Amino acid sequence: MPVKPVKQKLVVHNDTALVIQRYFNGAALKNYSAQKEFQYGNGGYAGESLWTRFWKWFWSLFDTDDKSILGRIEQYVLIALGIAALVFLILKLVGVDALNVVRRKPLSATLPYNESVENIYETDLDAELEKAIAHQNYRFAVRILYLRSLRQLSDAGLIKWDINKTNSIYINELTDAEQRIAFKILTRQFEYVWYGEFIIDMPVFTKISTRFNDFKVKAV
């Protein structure tokens, strides 16, 4: 049979420790209250700020018990309006006129002449190059230099020019390794200037023009 545990009698001990009663130092409290650092003004509760009320209203749009289609549409419309108001407020804070951003038409550069040269055999490239330099449109002048190099390679029978071909196709058509590397460098230079829309000045254009003029076309 299992042995039943013997319960010990509880003994209550009296606390005979000496209790010393302490009081606040009135003089010290008065001294602290007289100091400016410990004077806290109480201007009263002025209510929630406009920003706090806006966010409460915004998040309340997500709390709805209306499960109908009309109720959901109304909820989504209110959410869209809330987001639009927030974006408008942010644009205002950063000094952007939101109405002009919506209504503004895309800016188009006023060009002194046509920059849509595509067919290298239907355009006087030398004349276009002189015109571009005269108008200080060095970015377009680099494009003309590249098109002129393509025509030189095509006239030499090194590439088969086609208006729909990409620059990389022309590079791969070159069989001479040295010439392919040189033309690849010119292609990269042209793409940086033309597609990257980098603004270049006369000294930079002079360096680029020298590279194109030094490019040697070795006929087959």
Task: Give the model's pLDDT for residue 186.
Answer: 92
Over 60: is that where the pLDDT of 220 sits?
A: no
Mean pLDDT, to the nearest integer, of 10-20?
76
Q: Taking each helix axis from N to C terminus, what angle separates 138-155 and 125-134, rounded to the nearest 10 degrees?
A: 160
Contact 84, 90 (CB under 8 A): no
81-129 confidence digits (pLDDT tens): 777 777 777 766 655 555 554 544 433 333 344 445 567 787 888 898 9
Query: In the structure encoding, which two tokens stand for residue 174, read together?
Result: 């070159």
State the residue for tokens 């007289």.
Answer: 34
Residue among 122, 131, 141, 153 at smallest CA distance from 190: 141
> Using CA atoms, how far apart are residues 64 and 188, in angstroms rounded to an integer?
58
| Residue ranges per structural domain of the chain | 50-103, 125-213
Task: Give the model's pLDDT for residue 47.
Answer: 60
Task: State the pTM of this model.
Answer: 0.48
Query: In the structure encoding, which two tokens stand for residue 18, read together?
Result: 């000496």
32-47 confidence digits (pLDDT tens): 777 776 666 655 555 6
Over 80: is that where the pLDDT of 10 sits?
A: no
